[in-house]
Amino acid sequence: MGNRIYTVTLNPAWDRTATVARLVPGGTNLLRELRADAGGKGINVSRVLHTFGKETTALGLLGTGAGDSLLARLQDEGICCDFVRLEQDCRTNTKIVDASAGVTTEFNEPGPHVPQAARKMLEDQLQQLPQGAVAVFAGSLPPGVPADWYARAAELCRAVGVRVVLDASGAGLKNGLSGGPVIIKPNRDELEALCGCALDGTEQLLAAARRLLNDRTRLAAVSLGAQGALFATATRAVLATPPKLQAKSTVGAGDTMTAVLADWLAGRQETDTLTDGQLCDLAALAVAAASAKVLREGTQPPRAEEIAAIRAQVCCEMVG
């Protein structure tokens, strides 16, 4: 049980995805290929891990209404869940895929207000996690959750010997860093927002990523969309670039990368003894998995054969 991966989603969503031939802002758009999925960044990570055949449990805060549909869907998929239930309705998000441009526009609700008692129940769960496990904190902070909650949660995990992967943005990322996550996975926009400036080129991205590393945070994976991702430790860095693909849905691509990172961490004791080859292997797999996800509609996890085919085409370059 020690190597089980627990995902924590504070703001789950019932994700409705539709495709339009060409998105016309301010005009009439005919929706097609409608689908609904269980959503929320941590939940997406658990779905990917389950597809990989890994032991995972989805934790977090889940409202009623659409939340009941979300829970039923996860149970149908065979994913272990142990959510703290809220009395308010779960949010519903809408994703519009522009087939002509291969891009997705998201319309996300803020989520229900979280009472202090529900946060305390979740914190109690974290303190019961088995030593050696990995906890993934991912996604936005709903109303009622303090901006420093990820830091507090990471400290609770570290106190019981649980290692943390953090995939957040804004205040969640900025404050969460003080909790000492082992791995962080910002995207370019999130890293630029944290730094307060634009980051042009690999050298600036690497310098910004390394400023977030310390004796507890050992690896930064900066996702760069279609350009791949930059993986940085204090002494090594790899830029992994995927082949050009025609995306069906980019939703969940970053979460797929996070799932690979969490699975990798669950199988290791340290991250500061990586060789160039080991970091390249991790980067190639993570980028291939994220790239394979964009070939799937909605938030469906990628297939193993799709990941393997793309991995052979990922270009890894040692930088810095």
Q: What is the DSSP string of 104-119?
A: EEEE----PPPPHHHH
Q: In this model, does residue 285 exceed pLDDT 50?
A: yes
Alpha carbon of 295 to those of 105, 126, 135, 168: distances in Å? 16, 34, 27, 24
Q: How much of the chain exceeds pLDDT 90, in percent?
A: 84
Give the residue-averaged pLDDT of 89-118: 92
At residue 204, the pLDDT reads 96
Alpha carbon of 262 to those of 29, 71, 314: distances in Å? 39, 23, 20
Beta bridge partners of 84: 61
CA 88 to chain centre: 25
At residue 271, the pLDDT reads 63
Backbone φ, ψ for residue 239 (5° rounding): -105, 115
Backbone φ, ψ for residue 25 (5° rounding): -60, 130
What SS3 class is residue 314? coil
Give the residue-averaged pLDDT of 208-221: 95
Give the residue-averaged pLDDT of 102-119: 92
Beta bridge partners of 89: 64
Strand order, beta sheet including 219-223: 80-89, 56-64, 5-9, 134-138, 163-167, 183-184, 219-223, 229-232, 237-241, 315-318
Domain boundaries, the chain: 5-318
Give the residue-averaged pLDDT of 97-107: 88
* pLDDT tens figures, 149-203: 999 999 999 999 999 999 999 999 999 999 999 999 999 999 999 999 999 899 9
Distance, first Cα to last Cα, the chain: 38
Q: What is the mean pLDDT of the chain?
A: 93
What SS3 class is residue 80? strand
At residue 205, the pLDDT reads 97
Distance CA 214, CA 200 (A): 23
Distance CA 218, CA 223 (A): 16
Distance CA 268, CA 169 (A): 26
Q: How much of the chain exceeds pLDDT 70, in percent?
A: 98
Q: Say how many residues make up the chain.
A: 320
- Largest Cα–Cα distance of the chain, in whole Å? 55
Higher per-residue confidence, 200 vs 251:
200
CATH 3.40.1190.20 fits 5-318, yes or no: yes
Backbone φ, ψ for residue 171 (5° rounding): -65, -30
Beta bridge partners of 106: 95
Higher per-residue confidence, 270 vs 88:
88
Q: Comparing C-alpha atoms, which of 134, 78, 133 is closest to residue 261?
A: 134
Q: Which residues are catalytic?
A: 255
Alpha helices in the chain (DSSP H): 41-51, 66-76, 116-126, 149-159, 170-176, 188-195, 201-210, 253-266, 276-293, 304-311
Structure tokens at 65: 């209404």
Q: What angle do CA 103, 104, 107 make, to 5 degrees?
A: 155
- Which of 32-41, 157-166, 222-231, 306-315 shows the lowest per-residue confidence on average (mean pLDDT)? 32-41
Confidence label for 1 from pLDDT (cuts 50, 70 and 90): very low
Count other C-beta atoms under 10 Å from residue 237's C-beta: 23
